[in-house]
Amino acid sequence: MTDIVVGGFAADRFAPVREAFTANLESGADLGASFAATIDGEMVVDLWGGWADEARARPWERDTLVNVYSTTKTMTALTALLLADRGELDFDAPVARYWPEFAQAGKSGVKVSHLMSHSAGLSGWKEPLRQEDLYDWDKATSLLAAQAPYWQPGTAPGYHALTQGYLVGEVVRRITGRTLGTVFREEIAQPLGADFHIGLPASEDHRVADLIPPPPGGAIGDGEQSELSANMSNNPGIDVLATRTRAWRAAEIPAAGGHGNARSIAQVHVLLANGGVAQGKRILSEAGCRKALEVQIEGHDLILGVPARFGMGFGLPGAHLPLPNANSIYWGGYGGSLVIIDMDARTTFGYAMNLMQPTTQGDTRALGLAMGMWRGLAG
């Protein structure tokens, strides 16, 4: 077997993080991966290595991209936070103020904050959907506008795995006249030079690593599920191999279809870690950033089946993921990707990989690297 090559760098005090990253690749816990971290906006760790495909024919390069599934949600949330900071979006307003058709089926009182915090009761579609329907924005959003909630909005969290992106994205589109992927690209990614895409151009296909599905029994939808969870995971079913198609990559799926790497994930979220400033540019206010920390809902998640605490678009530290600092926010993607933003330490951690771990087992790859970062920060 060809020796594992790890590219990039880690500042001296984070040498154990590089060692742990390399160990993940050498042990087979990772096939190909990237990990990056910033402090005060400066990149202090930027690592990549392994393979971009199962055949080990393509090395994971500095600019390799990968579909990060729900880590995309943090980019969607940041886009909404930006509009709110500019006064264009009021999280406390009813969704129907911006999207009148949404008031159907008793949803006139559903707030934008409910969409942001997975508490709108729209965790899945009631009408049967096919995979290709996810590429039809008008169909996906109009069906959600027409249906009644599964539970009383605002009373409980219930993870909106795919629907959240369409819901928040349509509000953004109604306000700006642009798709969420376009607003994110023009207002956030391009100004920061961040290589993250919600809607990937065909010109970048050659850089995309192949996601490797989790083993049988470890995928979303495997095992016993509640009726609500089954609806989320099976309508339509989540087909990992669809991420290798041009249709998936081109579509704007703002809850699950983003493509990036650890560097771009960490770069984008410097905005939140540094009070709205990145690359010398002020894009949000400090208050606008800290809006993400405000608890919107907490309790037993009706879909995930675990305790959950949601702020404005991000997970908050709690039983599901205890973090050293209270003023931290995070979220991760199906299979293992993760972002953590620690506002106290003014740091961001990003992790992206292509070997998906089972949802039924504890995946410690990313969190182990993050804990190594915190130990380095503590000196």
In the residue annotation, 70 being an active-site residue is answered as: yes
Burial of 245 by CB count in 10 Å (0-12 exposed, 13-18 middle, 19+ buried)? Answer: middle
Q: Which listed residue (34, 70, 117, 328) is catalytic?
A: 70
Three-class SS state of 135: helix
What's the rounded Cα separation, in Å, for the pair 75 and 198? 9
Name 194's Cβ contacts closer than 8 Å, sequence gap at least 6: 188, 260, 264, 267, 268
Look-up of token digits 């959003």? 141
Cα dihedral 37, 41, 42, 47 in deg (nearest 10): 20
Residue type, 195: D
Neighbours of 294 (CB within 10 A): 13
Which spans in 94-189 are helix H? 112-116, 137-146, 163-176, 180-184
Contacts of 331 (CB under 8 A, 6+ apart): 70, 71, 73, 74, 314, 315, 338, 339
Torsions phi, psi for 37 (to 5 deg): -145, 145
Phi-psi region of 117 (alpha: psi -120 to 50; beta: other; left: phi over 0): alpha
- In angstroms, the CA 128 to CA 125 distance is 7
Instruction: Indicate the burial class of 28 (C-beta count within 10 angstroms; 0-12, 13-18, 19 or more).
Output: exposed
Nearest to 258 by CA among 213, 204, 196, 210: 196
Backbone Cα Rg of the chain: 19
Question: Which amino acids are annotated catalytic?
Answer: 70
